[in-house]
Amino acid sequence: MRPKRALLATATLAVAGALTVGMTLAMAPVASAGTTLRAAAAEKGRYFGAAVATGKLSTSTYTTVLNREFNSVTAENEMKWDATEPSQGRFVYTGGDRLVSHAQANGMGVRGHALLWHQQEPGWAQSMSGSALRSAMINHVTQVATHYRGKVYAWDVVNEAFADGGSGGRRDSNLQRTGNDWIEAAFRAARAADPGAKLCYNDYNTDGVNAKSTGIYNMVRDFKSRGVPIDCVGFQSHLGTTIASDYQANLQRFADLGVDVQITELDVMTGGNQANIFGTVTRACMAVSRCTSITVWGVRDCDSWRGSDNALLFDCNGNKKPAYDSVLNALNAGSGIPNPTTTPPNPTTTPPNPTTTPPNPTTPPPGGSGCSASVSLNSWTGGFVATVKVTAGSSGTRGWTVSMTLPSGSSVTGTWSATASGSSGTVRFTNVDYNGALGAGQSTEFGFQGNGSGAGMTPTCTAS
């Protein structure tokens, strides 16, 4: 369970974010009224998900409702920093892997939650600061996103980094104090580690147009203008007895920036207005073509972090509440996502590695049968992350090697989607088994993290 926090004046509750591979469900050729939440959502090209505590997967009432009603799951705690890296450099994926296995066996997508959050940092990270924390933070993002590559459709890369109140500014935290570009650095590292996942920013008290949501809006607009890889924004929507009148308009203004919007942690205080608010949120999502998923934070009332609020769609015995009917009716009455492009993964097979053919390669193929490489850097004092794009020439490749000379005093500390020979001076990076074969003009990416400076590096590519 996540730590409880007090209701704010707006009756909106704060918690950690939640999101998991970024695929849009295919719409059925002929729509019919779905009789479960998962069927109704899938017919409209969307996910309807629930936050899951893996310890409850052995409870039959819990899993009966979960498997019948939801086509997406989010780990309540099992993928957060304190769970996945309890001591520096020691990664533990037992809980998250169990949830992924359950999802694959039951035809569900997975939202990853959350790579970085100022709360639920492990103790060793809480005591760090500056460039040491920045390096540890980037390494954590890289390692966890790489582990779940191809299994998670969306990640909450950064969670709750904006402050409450009227400033619309960033929250003070040890992460923020590593430099104002820390969010950008995290998103770039996540993209390099898993090019196929949707990368999301997630926060609470952003349900309407207010100072906080506008601060996030401005960040997203800036990221989009500069090519920072952000694909979606999560709205937690922990609601009380009212809902902002401009809820839908707020979702739409973010969608108009060119990102997906997702309801990530929905729950609503019990009372006479509960069913209406659940229905209003669902109708708002269905009316915004880029609203791709709704996730409720828990399965039954007794599983909710909100205790006696009875804030979910099922009672503890698994019985449907009036709010359930309100949501189901709204899903069935809503519009589908136009031209969904991908389908959910086959639950019995491992999804293909997404780094073999990254989307929308932009570098034109060089002439001849060789390959070309380009590098982009995200740097901070004392360290950097390099993302290298390899593009095949007109004859394609069966394998490739990229050579790069690091500045004096710099060294490679970690590599993904390639094998490094050496760690300083001239370093050779060779493809791994899944990304060596490229068709003519096709591209792939690999990355590495380093100490020191990465300035002035020029990659050269040799194809085989």
Q: Annotated catalytic sites, by residue?
A: 265
The answer to whether the beta carbons of residues 135 and 451 sit under 8 Å apart is yes
Distance (Å) of CA 243 to CA 12, 118, 278: 9, 27, 10
Cα–Cα nearest to 112, from 17, 193, 24, 192:
17
Pairing mode, if any, of strands 426-430 and 419-421? Answer: antiparallel
Rounded distance, CA 436 to CA 343, Å? 26
Residue in the structure block whose two tokens are 């009316």: 287
Can you read off the two tokens belonging to residue 186?
């995290």
Rounded distance, CA 290 to CA 46, Å? 10
Cα–Cα nearest to 155, from 127, 119, 209, 196:
196
The answer to whether the beta carbons of residues 201 and 158 sit under 8 Å apart is yes
Neighbours of 367 (CB within 10 A): 9
Cα–Cα nearest to 190, from 420, 457, 445:
445
